[in-house]
Amino acid sequence: MRKFNPSSISFVAIAIVLLWIKTYIVYKTSFDIEIENWKQEFILFMNPLSFLMFIFGISLYFNEKKRNRYIIIASFIVSSVLYGNVVFYRFFNDFLTLPVLFQTSNMADLGSSVNSLLNVTDSLYFLDFVILITLIKLKPAFITNRSFSKVESRTYLLIAVAISFLNLGLAETERPQLLTRTFDREILIKNIGTYNYHLYDLFLQSKSSAQRAFADGSELVDIDNYIKANYEEPNNEYFGIAKGKNVILISLESTQSFVVNRTVNGEEITPFLNDFIKESYYFNNFYHQTGQGKTSDSEFIVENSLYPLGRGAVFFTHSGNEFEATPEILDENGYFTASLHANKKSFWNRDIMYQSLGYDRFYEINDFNVKEENSVGWGLKDKEFFEQSVQHLKEMPEPYYAKLITLTNHFPFELEEEDQLIEPFNSGSQTLNNYFPTVRYQDEALKLFIQKLKDEGIYDDSIIILYGDHYGISENHNRAMEEYLGEEITPFVSTQLQRVPLVIHIPGHAGKTISTVSGQIDLKPTILHLLGIHTKKNIDFGSDLFLDDKMEFTVLRDGSFITKDYVFTREICYDKSTGKQTDQNVCDRYKEKAKNELEYSDAIIYGDLLRFYENIEYRGDLTKQLK
């Protein structure tokens, strides 16, 4: 029997070691992965190894020529996957998923956003690939001609399997039920690694695709019981107070609450909004709950009172589902419903998804006069967008529900000099520096829009709702944010920074600040109740924001949650009054509720369960009706 000769697989070993070390370096330099102890550090270091051994081990079954070619190709592909995650993480502070990769129709429109994420030094992410090619050309002695025995191949495979099980076993000791109870991709990457995570993601994609095919609606029983158990009757003081009024819903691109009532370089960032909230209802503990779908996720949450998916965007992955969205409900109650957005209708698959949501009309880029001189960054400037949108509003039959989606305050936050009303901030982050002038420009555009509504006689016949769609400044800019805020950005502070403005202006009502913990998921029942439309029959996970005793509980897509007194994020429970870590037990009673809501919502989307609910007039005994 031939003895196992380690030198004979030196080229394979070099490929593994180079990519292994590179991956660990990328973990430490390109991703912000929080490590709490030596065991987590060891798991992070070890987790790429088993995957790389399997991938490159396949080459042991090839002859020399094919083996070398396979190793080179595999190295390039794996490096590309790693680099793709790096670029994606630079802005979204998140990792790629298969549904995101399927969103290719968005790529052509990303333009400067993608370019700003690329660096000259990015070629270093493929340095190991270059080294391997150099070794083949200049050091052929590393490569042998012999084949490998079954014993050698099996020994290699057993080592790879042993390392894989060791990795998973250690990960389970750090995070029990890692693969069944985790909504946070960072935790998965930290424990099983980028490459194994993508295999797991492939499994989840296959599972979700099969979910709809095998769904029969029986899952709606538990969901229905949960919804009914948590339903709260509307506040009579506010129910129907805006009945018959137009609804103008404005999505404020990338706008976070930290800019409200604050200054930069001694200048107010949002002077108009600061004044407008004094004559409106302002919710200062309102959180965005978006995932990878960003603006489209915020639309989905607001319209459906369902959570977005943890992977990809519902607008892409499940645009053909049956929904009971706000536009469809309002259409049934005599409203004309429209969305206005000066972008291509196919972006975020809106032209398809809006049909499923029940919109009567989509005013897209071809409905606006878009020219080079009135555009910047992602397209039509907000001032021009609002000016032209007023003309569309005037043509709509009343009452109408109109959603307007702004563009200018979008990464990479480009603005022409003549539109800058305040100077950029001065920090090490160009993104944060430029963010303030674009927010200020958006604020000025809102001011002109509101005045135009008054001039056209629309203002007094409409409720006006402004909400931030998602964060604009990711955790990748924490150092600069610390400089601006004057405090350390802990996980607690980072979660608090996920608050976005919500302003509801109702004609004839005085201003009031409401500090109830809430989220985008609460907007649908709130709007419908203001218009006098009951929601008891709806599958909604949110609740009316004007309830006197609303439960103060908001779940973020990564499984974090916020209550009146506590914040739970990254497996740590924080006391909101101090911002310090507190007894885990006080958060434990909310964990099951957070998990249930995310899983129930996922089940509805993946299984397209509302198609079984479409013709049910009342959910009195859903079990019998489904039978």
- pLDDT score of 423 more than 50: yes
Quote the crossing angle between the two packed helices 220-230 and 585-606, to the nearest 10°: 130
pLDDT tens digit string along 196-216?
888 887 887 777 677 777 888
The phi and psi torsions of 27 (rounded to 5 degrees) equal -55, -45
- pLDDT score of 442 more than 60: yes
pLDDT tens digit string along 206-254?
776 777 778 888 888 899 999 999 998 999 999 999 999 999 999 999 9
Of 100 and 401, the one with more pLDDT: 401
How does residue 617 score in pLDDT terms, banded at 50, 70 and 90?
Answer: very low
The phi and psi torsions of 566 (rounded to 5 degrees) equal -135, 155
How does residue 376 score in pLDDT terms, banded at 50, 70 and 90?
Answer: confident
Please give the angle made by the CA atoms of 336, 339 and 341, to the nearest 5 degrees. Answer: 155
> Cα separation of 133 and 48, whole Å?
22
How does residue 138 score in pLDDT terms, banded at 50, 70 and 90?
Answer: confident
Owner of token pair 């007039």: 617
Exposure string of 239-268, with b = 16+ CB inside 10 Å and e = fewer, is: bebbeebbbbbbbbbbbbbbbbeeebeeeb
- pLDDT score of 439 more than 50: yes
Please give the angle made by the CA atoms of 161, 164 and 170, to the nearest 5 degrees. Answer: 140
**Maximum distance among all Cα pairs of the chain, rounded to whole angstroms:** 93
How much is the pLDDT for 147? 66
Q: List beta partners, residue 518.
A: 286
How does residue 627 score in pLDDT terms, banded at 50, 70 and 90?
Answer: very low
**Highest mean pLDDT: which of 141-155, 539-553, 610-624?**
539-553
Q: What is the mean pLDDT of residues 531-538?
A: 94
How much is the pLDDT for 329? 97
How much is the pLDDT for 320? 85
Quote the crossing angle between the two packed helices 194-214 and 49-57, to the nearest 10°: 80
Of 93 and 250, the one with more pLDDT: 250
How much is the pLDDT for 113? 56
Q: What is the mean pLDDT of residues 68-93?
A: 86
- pLDDT score of 158 more than 50: yes
pLDDT tens digit string along 260-272?
999 999 999 999 9
How much is the pLDDT for 114? 58
- pLDDT score of 619 more than 50: no
> Cα separation of 302 and 288, whole Å?
10
Q: How many CB atoms lie within 10 A of CB 485?
A: 14
pTM score > 0.85 for this model?
Answer: no
The closest of 156, 181, 200, 180 to 47, measured between CA atoms, is: 200
- For the ranges 2-11, 260-269, 343-352, 445-454, the lowest mean pLDDT is seen at 2-11
Q: What is the mean pLDDT of residues 411-425?
A: 91
- pLDDT score of 565 more than 80: yes
**Cβ atoms of 543 and 550 closer than 8 Å:** yes
From first CA to last CA, the distance across the chain in angstroms is: 66
Please give the angle made by the CA atoms of 537, 610 and 224, to the nearest 5 degrees. Answer: 50
Q: What is the DSSP string of 85-127?
A: HHHHHHHHSS---HHHHT-GGGGGGTTHHHHTT--GGGGGGGH
- For the ranges 154-158, 239-243, 429-433, the lowest mean pLDDT is seen at 154-158
HSE-up of residue 7 (Cα within 13 Å, Cβ side): 3
Which domains are present in the chain?
6-211 (no CATH), 238-546 (3.40.720.10)
Q: Which of 97, 182, 270, 295 is catalytic?
A: 295
Please give the angle made by the CA atoms of 523, 529 and 535, to the nearest 5 degrees. Answer: 85
Q: Catalytic annotation on 255?
A: no
Of 56 and 94, the one with more pLDDT: 56
Q: What is the mean pLDDT of residues 80-107?
A: 74
- pLDDT score of 603 more than 80: yes
How much is the pLDDT for 116? 61
- pLDDT score of 315 more than 80: yes
Q: List beta partners, residue 404.
A: 250, 340
Q: What is the mean pLDDT of residues 536-559?
A: 94
Q: What is the mean pLDDT of residues 580-603?
A: 94
- pLDDT score of 35 more than 70: yes
% of the chain with per-residue pLDDT over 90: 58
